[in-house]
């Protein structure tokens, strides 16, 4: 996330927001945010949302995720929201949403779902 320039902006139990400001390094040839950057912040928002519900001595890994790009990603910044739908002992399922923000206007540009695995007794480094 540091490499992309993304920042965790809100952390609640089961919900995390990550913002990514517009920079040339995260855009593609038409000036839109690149799908890779959009997907990366969505994946991380869901992963951290799941992690908020895990025990302190555990870790999290994405098992799979699906993302649908709904509109061109243009704006001042993107905001990814990861929300836990079901937290289990081993697997957790999250909803992913990414919105583009320009001034007061918010446009939904991606939606998805993710499955994560809790790895017990292996803390994050």
In order of their start, the domains of the chain are 7-119 (3.10.129.10)
Separation CA 14–CA 61 (nearest Å): 16
How many beta carbons lie within 10 A of that of residue 5, not counting itself? 15
Confidence class of residue 44 from pLDDT cuts 50, 70 and 90? very high
Token code pair at residue 46: 């869901």
Residue pair 21/76 in contact by the 8 Å Cβ criterion: yes
Torsion of CA 82, 114, 53, 9, to 10 degrees: -20
pLDDT attached to residue 120: 86
Average confidence score pLDDT of the chain? 95
In this prediction, residues 63-84 reach a mean pLDDT of: 97
| pTM to 2 decimal places | 0.93
Candidates 22, 48, 56, 51; CA nearest to 37 is 22
Confidence class of residue 124 from pLDDT cuts 50, 70 and 90? low
């Amino acid at each position: 996330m540091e490499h992309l320039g993304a920042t965790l902006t809100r952390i609640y139990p089961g919900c995390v927001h990550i913002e990514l400001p517009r920079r040339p390094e995260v855009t593609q040839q038409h000036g839109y945010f690149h799908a890779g950057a959009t997907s990366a912040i969505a994946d991380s928002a869901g992963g951290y949302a799941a992690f908020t519900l895990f025990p302190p001595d555990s870790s999290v890994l994405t098992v799979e995720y699906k993302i649908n790009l709904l509109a061109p990603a243009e704006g001042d910044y993107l905001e990814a929201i990861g929300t836990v739908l079901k937290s289990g002992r081993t697997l957790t399922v999250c909803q992913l949403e990414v919105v583009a923000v320009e001034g007061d206007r918010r446009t939904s540009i991606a939606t998805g779902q993710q499955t994560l695995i809790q790895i017990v007794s292996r803390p994050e480094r």
